[in-house]
Amino acid sequence: MKTPVNADCDYLNKCYGAQGRIVFRPSKHGTPIVVLANQYGSAEIALWGAQVFSYRPTGNQPVLFMPGNYDDYEAGSEIHGGIPICWPWFGRCGEEGSRMHGIVRYMPWYVKSSEYSEDISEITLGFKSNEETRKIWNYDFELSLKISVSMKLTMELTSTNTGDKPFWVTEGFHPYLRVRDIDQVTIKGVDGCEFYDTECPEKGDKRIWVGDVTVEEGSKVFKVDKLEYALIDNGLDRAIAMVSRGNKKLIVWNPGEAPFVGLNDGDYKKFVCVEPSTLFRDAGYELKAGESHDLKIAIQSVPNDGSVHACK
């Protein structure tokens, strides 16, 4: 069943809601936001852009950073917070003049299904190419994004080529992970990985990273194999463990203290982005007609006891 992209919250609650577990509510501007909740925590996701706005495990601090109240943002805004979806290009890998991080973060998605049990609350959103997307990127495709809250937050993006010609994709999840202070943060999981400091590998000096990562202004792009990472936040005395599948790169990014669109003074100290990605020609992928590709991430917040290496 495909829900109209302009469906209102009454319709969505009737078809896909579950009292106290899966609830659709209108944002300040009237666009739907779905709330997933259970004994383990809660998350809020905008149907416009399929962007996760918040994730909070029960009894714990919020895991994701948002600059201000996300209800205040208009549909189609470029929001530097939560977990944006970057597709079919990451960063400025699109054609000259195209918007940052692709197409689908700026457009409405529809609801495909919802499920819940004692231990999980889940929503699946969909997006299909249309006349508007073809004006920007002339290919036929379908996306499916499954988001679930259990003992962790899980997201799985399936990309399918529904046309008759192949296309090249660079993509990524772009989590803004909330921290007390970036000066008290380290990131584990990339020791021994090849990396470069710039956003374009042609300009970057590729080296091997040794040890944990501390947060600095700009991007570090790692070529990863193990796909298990952990952000250690000594300020909040917690660890954010993450596993991913379907990506070849991991980006660690912070904009630094210079003014940045959408952020308030000092906001840069409150987050670090740890982004499982497929980007550039050495790590993107080609989808031939009828082929699909999955990108998956799981995020779990646990006490910082020194033993966290991955999100099991």
Please tell me whether residue 165 adopts helix, strand or coil conformation.
coil
- 168 φ, ψ (degrees, to nearest 5): -105, 135
pLDDT at residue 308 in the model: 60
User: Residue 54: pLDDT above 80?
Assistant: yes
Q: Residue 14 is inside which H or E element, if any?
A: helix 9-16
Rounded Cα distance between 3 and 126, Å, is: 9
Tens digits of per-residue pLDDT, 163-176?
Answer: 999 999 999 999 99
* Ranges 90-94, 206-210, 239-243, most confident: 239-243
pLDDT at residue 312 in the model: 40
User: Residue 112: pLDDT above 70?
Assistant: yes
Lowest-pLDDT range of 203-212, 229-238, 267-276:
203-212
Tens digits of per-residue pLDDT, 26-36?
Answer: 998 889 999 99
Give 77 or 281, the one with higher predicted confidence.
77
User: Residue 39: pLDDT above 90?
Assistant: yes
User: Residue 265: pLDDT above 80?
Assistant: yes
Please tell me whether residue 255 adopts helix, strand or coil conformation.
coil
- Residue 82 near residue 53, CB atoms below 8 Å: yes
Rounded Cα distance between 82 and 135, Å, is: 28
Give 208 or 309, the one with higher predicted confidence.
208
pLDDT at residue 154 in the model: 98
User: Residue 212: pLDDT above 80?
Assistant: yes
- Residue 227 near residue 241, CB atoms below 8 Å: no
User: Mean pLDDT, to the nearest integer, of 187-196?
Assistant: 95
- 252 φ, ψ (degrees, to nearest 5): -110, 120
Tens digits of per-residue pLDDT, 114-155?
Answer: 999 999 999 999 999 999 999 999 999 999 999 999 999 999
Please tell me whether residue 241 adopts helix, strand or coil conformation.
strand
Rounded Cα distance between 168 and 160, Å, is: 12
pLDDT at residue 199 in the model: 52
Q: Across all residues in the chain, what is the average pLDDT? A: 91
Which residue segments constitute the domains of the chain, with CATH numbers given?
9-303 (2.70.98.10)
Question: How confident is residue 307, by pLDDT bands cut at 50, 70 and 90?
Answer: low
What are all long-range contacts of 282-286, with beta carbons under 8 Å and residues at least 24 apart?
282/201, 282/248, 283/170, 283/223, 283/247, 283/248, 283/249, 284/93, 284/168, 284/169, 284/170, 284/171, 285/168, 285/169, 286/166, 286/167, 286/168, 286/169
- 11 φ, ψ (degrees, to nearest 5): -65, -45
HSE-CB for 231 with a 13 A CA cutoff: 32
pLDDT at residue 310 in the model: 46
Q: What percent of the chain has pLDDT over 70?
A: 93
pLDDT at residue 179 in the model: 98
Rounded Cα distance between 281 and 152, Å, is: 32
Q: What percent of the chain has pLDDT over 90?
A: 76
Question: How confident is residue 281, by pLDDT bands cut at 50, 70 and 90?
Answer: low
Rounded Cα distance between 143 and 141, Å, is: 7
User: Mean pLDDT, to the nearest integer, of 93-117?
Assistant: 89
The answer, yes or no, to whether the previous bond of 259 is cis (omega within 30 of 0) is no
Question: How confident is residue 276, by pLDDT bands cut at 50, 70 and 90?
Answer: very high
User: Mean pLDDT, to the nearest integer, of 55-62?
Assistant: 96
